[in-house]
Homo-oligomer: A and B are copies of this chain.
Amino acid sequence: MQAIPEAQLLRLEGLREKVNLALESLIQREIDNGAGEVAQISGEILLSGGKRLRPLLGIFCYEIAGGKDLDEIMDLALASELIHTATLIHDDINDAAKLRRGVTTLHERIGQPKAIIAGDWLFVHGYGLSGRYSKECIDLIRDSCANIAISEFKQLDHILDLSTSPEDYLQIVKGKTAGPFAAACESAGIVAGASTEQIQALGRFGMELGIAFQLKDDLLDLHGDERMGKPRGKDVIEGKMTLPLIHALTLLHGERRRHLADILNNFNDGLWDELMGLLETSDSIAYAESLMLTHLERAIHELDKFPTSMAKSLLMQVAENVHNRYS
């Protein structure tokens, strides 16, 4: 990993701060307008951390596509963060999760009814922010949001389904994680007035990056890191079929596969060593890592169509961070 040039780092941090300030003032405006507790609480969740990955991607994609006016893209960038946070809140309810970003989840703190509504409120405002853009952009965001729902249904159907195939996995990931990345990048290109070819390249960049992002998530779930802010093995406990597990279930045979199935069906913290041993036998961690790198390379390859610029370096930096992140 190369050291990041200071100018890039300053720009990255400066923009992240701008996004944070814009999110803060959006929430403050709604509170001032009388939105009360729902804005207060949704705001706390929205502002309680997060890498602002989707907004930053949108801004950099806008810039490499020729966009010059940060104000022109900011609402779309914020929209992706609000919608993302809305889905996290509803996901946490559905997963009965206790922790998010190291703090107690919203439904655990204020009860499920208010948490469902807070998610709805964030979603409304996220979607509302897209209202100033072209119908093409609004349709892209609608489709990516609808695909999240479609994929979440699929994911629920595959809970503890040990016959889940890599194709099922990819379909779910494309809808749930990578699609919103792609929509943020593609719509940014549209706002910048880029060529069709460039817009499509940005969409593919976002999709590939999003798949890599999810694969890294899968790996983090197995490795664990206290900085993650959620317990190690959350996916395994919830019966979510992550790629390393799918790979191992496909490669292992006979007694070993039966043993792995047993572990997954009855997982507890005492089974970590056995699980990781089996995943090592099938080389599934290494496989998921190399698959992640392939998708990252594909993502970066899409940027070849754009001239060298600070924004392009930053997009490559974001891709690098997907690989190196710990949460």
Interface of A with B (CB < 8 Å)? 30, 34-39, 90, 93-94, 112-114, 116-118, 120-121, 123-125, 127-128, 131-132, 135, 138-139, 142, 145-146, 148-150, 152-154, 156-157
Contacts and interface: CB of A to CB of B under 8 A. Distances in A.
A124 B153 contact: no
Q: Please classify the interface of chain A as helix (H, G, I), strand (E, B), loop, or mixed, using the class held by over half of its residues.
A: helix
Contacts of A37: 153, 157
A68 B35 CA distance: 37
B135 A116 contact: no
Pairs A-B, 6 closest by C-beta atoms? A128-B142, A131-B138, A94-B113, A121-B149, A124-B145, A38-B153
A116 B153 CA distance: 11
A124 B131 CA distance: 13
9 contacts: A30-B146, A38-B150, A38-B153, A90-B116, A94-B112, A114-B153, A114-B156, A128-B139, A132-B135
A115 B240 CA distance: 19
A273 to B, nearest CB: 31
A142 B154 contact: no
A145 B30 CA distance: 13
